[in-house]
Chain A
Amino acid sequence: MPVRWSRYNPSYLEPEVKTEAYQKPLEELTEEEKEQMELKAVRPIKAAPPTLSSSVFSDPMISKFTNMMMKSGNKVLARSLMSQTLEAIKRKQLEKYHKAPENEKETIECNPYVIFHQALKNCQPIIGLSSITRGGKTYQVPVPLTDNRKRFLAMKWMITECRENKHRRTMMPEKLSQELLLAFNNEGPIIKKKHVLHKMAESNRAYAHFRWW
């Protein structure tokens, strides 16, 4: 039975790295934020992990994606692949931008981070399936998903898609940038997979009452 424990005492809180959160004047804070501040003043705080930093270039979603792409702890390679992907996205978008006529130039999004976030958001499923065994038969029951789970599924699908369905000679950054651009425009195999999942959930709607949580 895997036991998940942490070297930190459970009373330790997560660190807040962004400088904007500390520059807000006292009046603008809501009730919850004031309570949070008081709590933080008393409780100890965990150390910031090496992937997190207050610079504008560090993005928690990008770090998560990089970690998921990483194999056998080779963070250097994963990070370089990620940066090459973002570069490839930028190049493709710039090409499109320079070829497009004047009126369409504003609609083309050139920021690779925006494209990345929007693409992953488009890939997130809304509802998931979970197998529940009743009376010997296993049913696929539609089940709501938490935010973390949605993000994880989107990233996982993206990575598995890029690793398997490509020609032997294509490099990962190229394929990834292709898939991300397709997902950004709500096309491509990953969006299709999401729609298939939604259809399955809709067809199994009858079993929704099997869920007890």
Chain B
Amino acid sequence: MASEKPLGSCPAYSYHTLLWDTLRLICTTTAVQRKNAGASGPEKYTEAFIKKQIEEFNLGKRHLANMMGEDPETFTQEDIDRAIAYLFPSGLFDKQARPLMKHPTEVFPEQRKIQWGEDGRPFHFLFYTGKQSYYSLMHVSILSVINNASSQSNNICDILNRNLAGSRWLTKIELEEMLVEKMSDDDYSRFIRLLEKLVALPCADLEEKYIQKFSKEVPAQLQKVLIEPLQYDERGVAFSTGEGRRKTASATAVVYDNGTGKITVNGIDILHYFPVLQDREQLLFPFQFLGRIGKHDMVCTVSGGGRSAQAGAIRLASAKALRSFVTEKEVEFMRQAGLLTVDPRVKERKKPGQEGPRRKFTWKKR
């Protein structure tokens, strides 16, 4: 096999066999793509098998690096992805159906070793409950709650605030991956409630470390959006632009300073373009919130969507444009009032076998 030859022997290499080896590695790796962690039942992939896969992967990685003319030592996963996309271009729509070459630990789901010894006796004392990791976790957490409750007088710390701002609990899928065991939604919610109870108690430092295992940092400050500075047109009036979308409607708004509160949409006054009161209310919402109703002029263009969607799109566009006129604190207030978030609600698709997105066909007995 070409894989057993040393890397240095270039003339004897045929790229054909090299390609085939990598192809074989890739094909096997795509075939076993699985999302669920901790496959129950007897081991499907023995340790020896996984070790062999890892060896083959590393070897294949070096071959690939050689093929692409790069240094095998510093060939990262991104380089692998780029190389595979170049050598095996695929037009398939589903990204997961395309050729893929990843480390076997990412591809083969984590498996538990056999939980019982040669005499058939299980190692863990909670094995016969069926969910040994979950129950042992609950036992340990309860113990820490009880210890905490008994030693209440010791340390009163204010780490209470820590959890609220900037961290979240692990999701059910993440917890399943951590324990390599499936659990139901009820089990998960029970565990989270226990953790919250633990946090609510005057906690000691040991518990802090234990809790940190199950909490994740929320990516700090999702905002950090650049607020564009004001632009000035020929007359010297300050203006700024904003764009907004809502449900197929897209709008651009230009907000001018030193205005009288006139708003024009697609060249038509809002009183004629939006005969319904609710839409006009939505247009004026950002201005009313900031208390700047008579102070700005607005010229917008909008297309697509229906009457309410166009109003929502213009509202978002004007709120984005107003950010440049206003202090950072007020921008934060606008965000908390829901003016700066893009509304993700769109029309739900129709499913096959049903008349609409939710409505089923009329049930006929015969």
Contacts and interface: CB of A to CB of B under 8 A. Distances in A.
B285 A53 contact: yes
B222 interface: yes
B218 A42 contact: yes
Interface in B283-322: 284-285, 288-289, 291, 308, 311-312, 316
A33 to B, nearest CB: 13
Max chain B C-beta neighbours (<10 A), residue from A8, A17, A47: A47
A15 B336 contact: yes
Interface of A: 2, 7-8, 11, 15-17, 19, 22, 35, 38-48, 50-55, 57-58, 75-76, 79
9 contacts: A11-B168, A35-B161, A38-B161, A39-B165, A44-B222, A50-B282, A55-B288, A79-B276, A79-B277
Interface bracket on B:
35 or more
A7 B277 contact: no
Contact of A46 (B279, B311, B341): B341
B344 A7 contact: yes
B332 A41 contact: yes
A206 B335 CA distance: 52
Interface in B314-340: 316, 332-333, 335-339
Contacts, number: 85
Contacts of A75: 278
Contacts of B285: 48, 53-55
Interface of B: 161, 164-166, 168, 218, 220-222, 276-279, 281-282, 284-285, 288-289, 291, 308, 311-312, 316, 332-333, 335-339, 341-346, 358
Given A7-B345, A47-B341, A51-B278, A2 B358 contact: yes
B336 A40 contact: yes
B278 A54 contact: no
A41 B278 contact: no
Contacts of A53: 281-282, 284-285, 288
Shortest 8 CB-CB contacts between residues of A and residues of B: A15-B338, A48-B338, A47-B343, A47-B341, A7-B344, A38-B165, A54-B289, A22-B333
Given A7-B345, A38-B164, A45-B341, A50 B336 contact: no
B286 to A, nearest CB: 9
A54 B283 CA distance: 11
A15 B337 contact: yes
Contacts of A42: 165-166, 218, 220-221
A57 B168 CA distance: 38
Contacts of B308: 50
A40 B339 CA distance: 14
A48 B278 CA distance: 13
A45 B218 contact: no
A51 B278 CA distance: 7
A47 B308 CA distance: 14
A55 B343 CA distance: 20
A168 B346 CA distance: 39
Contacts of B344: 7-8, 47
A55 B286 CA distance: 10
A52 B222 CA distance: 25
Given A11-B168, A50-B282, A53-B285, A17 B218 contact: no
Contacts of A55: 281, 284-285, 288
A43 B166 CA distance: 8
Contact of B341 (A38, A41, A44, A54): A44
Contacts of B343: 47
